Structure 1
Amino acid sequence: MCRWLAYAGEPLQPSLVILDAQHSLVAQALDSPLGAETVNGDGFGFGWYPVGSTEGSLPSIYHSVEPAWNDENLREITDAVESPLFFSHVRAAGGPPIQRTNCHPFRYLNWLFMHNGVINGFRELKRDLTFAVDRSLYPHILGTTDSEVLFHLGLTFGLLEDPIAGMRKAVQFVEEIGAAHGIEHPMQGTVALADGATIWAFRYSTEGRSRTLFHSVDVPTLQEMYPDVPRLKLFGENARVVVSEPLNDLPGAFLEVPESSVAVLGPDGNHYEPFMAGAMPA
């Protein structure tokens, strides 16, 4: 449905991965070999935290309904800023209209959220799901996508205190409502969350055949594997990206996030955690 990228590490010009990588996010917007749709040209978004950001830092966002490859401001902004943690997303609209309020990432306080996938049967489930959002959060839903409703369900179910438990309860609720309406596989997709210091990247679907999701190998290992690739010297030793599909063709540079797992990229390192019951991290 879409493609997305999340970066954490030493402050970096976002254009290095969003625009300039071999298979950059903008390149994936034009031609996505692993995506459900080849072209993702129905708007895009970029969200970034300031240099020195920590948990609780407020991010900035830029959204446009232009195709990412056709927006000069994206180049201007991603060349001009440096950020230790940023999100970017290119959209293939699956029903909800093409408008800025439907572009990811979504923001609430210090949190960023983006999603690639779909709540199947959302038209039938929308009323029950939306009415379950906490009354205080409801006015913050500005668009019409299933993704934004899922984010606010996560907030309703405690995402601010425990991101993994909050998203787990939100997805379980989607599946419960879907089952009540006869939807066979309600949840599909990958989700990224950040609070200013940590990224949580979820891969899950009810049917166990989720959208693709990868994370990069640590930079020191990559530099040892490919000492003659000068581009790798642009990245600090703590740099890591999570992406819908790999940014280059270097064998071993990207690892697939396991089904029903969460990749956690934080100040203390990176690891997997199981998402739903029975999931075993690699």
Structure 2
Amino acid sequence: MCRWAAWQGAPLFLSQMISAPEHSLIQQSREANKCKTAINADGFGLAWYDKRPTPGLYRDVYPAWSDPNLLALADQVQARLFMAHVRASTGSATSRNNCHPFVQGRWSFMHNGQVGGFSRFRKAADMLIPDSLYADRKGASDSEALFLVACGLGLDTDPKGALAAAIARFEHLSREAGEEPHMRCTAALSDGEVLYAVRYASDTLAPSLFYRWYPDWQGWAVVSEPYDTSSGDWIEVPKGSFCTFTATNCEITPFAPAASLCAA
């Protein structure tokens, strides 16, 4: 499993979430509290939006706590929307191409969770990626494949519906492969304007997801686990939810991928 954090709002230095807090994302890379694996050392990544429509991207295979370039970048880069991820692999190799976030055009995506039996149906999953997007399939992870399938199912026009349909198809393939858990997922994605997040599982063990509004910073923090452990202002996202964060508003609606598969 992995840990991640995202920001949507007024421009914020990345370090204010990634490195400065007591239980920052970098600290969570070696001592997470709310996941099966306390160590998340199989790489890290950042995607951020500022003046350009497509995101900046920085990823590497080192543990987040051991890369001084990450600290320097986070201390200097200020962005109105950004996503950061520390990885604990559930099967695919430790390589830069398997590190989150993933980017396709103006979209960025990061994921925490697992898809049971993915190695058995990886070819079938890859075949769901449209030919026009397959050149963007750089790595071997289930997360990247899920993202590109969602892109092909209409992420530009219906982010919630496209992601639900992609998750439903992967869950169906996992059930056919017969390996549990079929789907556990918290994910964040953005087109550079709106930040979306989802919390879902095919069983009762959905990975953790929290959010809060910072009036002083004028923005939303969305995280796998709180980095400010002294604050009681964090709100847990209900299981089976899709979240939409604009610069000032938050909307949470039910998320039911199985219904999307039935409707397809």
CA separation in 2, counterparts of 1:5 and 1:94?
19
- The answer for the alignment partner of 1:34 in structure 2 is 34
Partner of residue 13, structure 1: 13
Q: RMSD of the TM alignment (CA)? A: 1.6
**Does the residue aligned with 2:222 lie in a helix, a strand or coil?**
strand
Q: Deviation digits for residues 149-208 of structure 1, max 9, x if unmatched? A: 010111121112110000000011112222233345411120100111111110001113
Considering only CA atoms, is the larger Rg found in Structure 1 or Structure 2?
1
TM-score normalised according to structure 2 size: 0.94
Cα deviation code 1:9-43 (max 9, x no counterpart): 11011001100012100010010011120100111
2:151 aligned to which of 155, 158, 161: 155
How far does residue 75 in structure 1 lie from its aligned partner after superposition?
A: 1.2
Of the candidates 165, 172, 195, which is equivalent to residue 191 of structure 2?
A: 195
Q: Which digits, 9 at most, give the CA deviation of each residue in 1:69-127, with x for residues without a partner? A: 11011111111111000000000112211110000000001111000011110011211
SS of residue in 2 equivalent to 1:152: helix
Aligned to 2:129: 133
Counterpart in the other structure of 1:267: 247
Matched ranges for 1:101-180 at <5 A: 101-180=97-176
Instruction: Tell me which residue corresponds to 2:86.
Output: 90
Q: Structure 1 residue 219: deviation in Å?
A: 2.4
| Distance of 2:90 and 2:227 partners within structure 1 | 24
What does 1:214-233 align with in structure 2 at a 5 Å threshold?
Answer: 214-216=210-212, 218-220=213-215
CA displacement at 1:68 relative to structure 2: 0.5
Q: Aligned equivalents of 1:64 and 1:44: distance in 2?
A: 6
Other-structure match for 1:3: 3
Residue type of the alignment partner of 2:25: L
Match of 1:228 in 2: none
Alpha carbons 1:189, 1:203 under 8 Å: kept: yes
Q: Aligned partners of 1:78 and 1:185: how far apart in 2?
A: 35
List alignment gaps of at least 5 residues for structure 1.
221-234
Separation (CA, whole Å) in 2 of partners of 1:277 and 1:59: 28
2:207 is aligned with 1:211: yes
The question of whether the paired residues in 2 share the 8 Å contact of 1:208 and 1:260 is answered with no
Letter in 1 for 2:161: A
Q: Which amino acid aligns with 1:131?
A: M
User: Cα deviation per residue 1:206-229 (whole Å; 9 max; x = unaligned)?
Assistant: 11320001001x223xxxxxxxxx
Q: Note the residue ranges of structure 2 that are not aligned, 5 or more in a row.
A: 260-264
| Aligned equivalent of 2:70 | 74
| Letter in structure 2 aligned against 1:117 | G
Query: Match for 2:73: what amino acid?
Result: I
Distance 2:177 2:45 in 1: 33
Match of 1:48 in 2: 48
Aligned residue for 2:131, secondary structure, equals: coil
Residue 227 of structure 1 corresponds to none
CA deviation after TM superposition for structure 1 residue 268, in Å: 5.1
Deviates more, 1:249-258 or 1:25-34: 249-258
C-alpha distance in structure 1 between counterparts of 2:214 and 2:89, whole Å: 34
Aligned length in residues: 259
Misfit runs of 4+, over 6 Å: none
Distance 2:58 2:75 in 1: 14
What is the identity, as a one-letter code, of the residue corresponding to 1:266? T
